[in-house]
Amino acid sequence: MQQREVKKLPTLRGRTVVNLFFEDSTRTRSSFEIAGKWLSADVINISGKGSSTSKGESLRDTVLTVAAMGVDALVIRHHASGAAQQVSQWVDAHVVNAGDGTHEHPTQALLDAYTMERRLGDLEGRHVAIVGDLTHSRVVRSNLITLRTLGARVTLVAPPTLMPSGIGAWAAAEGFALSNDFDAVLPTADAVMMLRVQRERMSGGFFPTPREYTVGYGLTRPRLDVLMAANPDAVICHPGPMNRGLEISPDAADAASSLVLDQVSAGVAVRMSVLYHLLAGGEGEDS
């Protein structure tokens, strides 16, 4: 579709999709909007700042109001973990989780896996290192589920202060590895996924200075050289937005092995697929 001159299919003509975003977003919101429009759905965007929630209306009343207009799907991003699941119990429309607090971001994990498979092939047995702010990341949780399902070997790397509470028990149960030493993990990685340092979610001192974080856990130019020397076919991912110069250097972000823009392109295709499977087929109870 992305290579066509006319990017339009009639598949979802007559369907209405509402993007209900209570947090800021560029990639996810835009790609869901493009995905819906390319499938000929009617797409409406509502932001939290421009909705009645800014006047004190509850989330429940907002989604019930929108659903009462006869929409077919709600794509929701919310700062509260579990919000999408809760909304799905209030409305009959399909609900797509576009990120809920620090819980999950399912379509991001799908597009990440799709992007890596296109470059690396089958992910069975591949070593994926996910590095950075694990405590505040919803991406890492969804990626762990997806990558482990596809047979990848996953190592989570972060300073002790950014390791989620209880992660040790989860790692032991699910069979992924934990490390506080990025340099030890790097040479064996087939893919390195850098996570954004989410300073807007931090209320305390998780690391002394940005410079110290970069020295210990940033994908710097020297670390990029080590990765490419050890594995010339290794790839670099980042779900975005990037803090250039903090968790990832410009050299790494713009390297030939970087899949950052490929992830953005894949986001449209994956989200088209999600909307297609939900809205173009039957109305199964588990949709």
Q: Is 138 annotated as a binding residue?
A: yes
Q: Is 28 annotated as a binding residue?
A: yes
Contacts by 58-66, CB closer than 8 A, 24 or more apart? 59/22, 59/83, 59/86, 59/87, 60/90, 62/20, 63/20, 63/87, 63/90, 63/91, 64/90, 64/91, 66/18, 66/20
Count the helix, strand and coil residues of the chain and give each as a percent rounded to the nearest 5: 45, 15, 40
Helix (H) or strand (E) holding 153: strand 153-157
Q: Are 192 and 231 in contact (CB under 8 A)?
A: no
Q: Which residue has the tokens 């989620």?
A: 164
Q: Is 27 annotated as a binding residue?
A: yes
Q: Is 271 annotated as a binding residue?
A: no
Q: Is 7 annotated as a binding residue?
A: no
Q: Is 241 annotated as a binding residue?
A: yes
Query: For the chain, how many residues are written?
Result: 287
What are the φ/ψ torsions at residue 244 (nearest 5 degrees)?
-60, 135
Cα separation, 16 vs 22, whole angstroms:
19
Tokens of 156: 């989570």
Q: What is the dihedral of CA 124, 126, 132, 135, to 10 degrees?
A: 30
Cα separation, 139 vs 33, whole angstroms:
20
Q: Which residues are annotated as a binding site for L-aspartate?
A: 55, 138, 196
Q: Residues marked as binding?
A: 27-28, 55, 77, 105, 108, 138, 196, 240-241
Binding residues for carbamoyl phosphate: 27-28, 77, 105, 108, 240-241
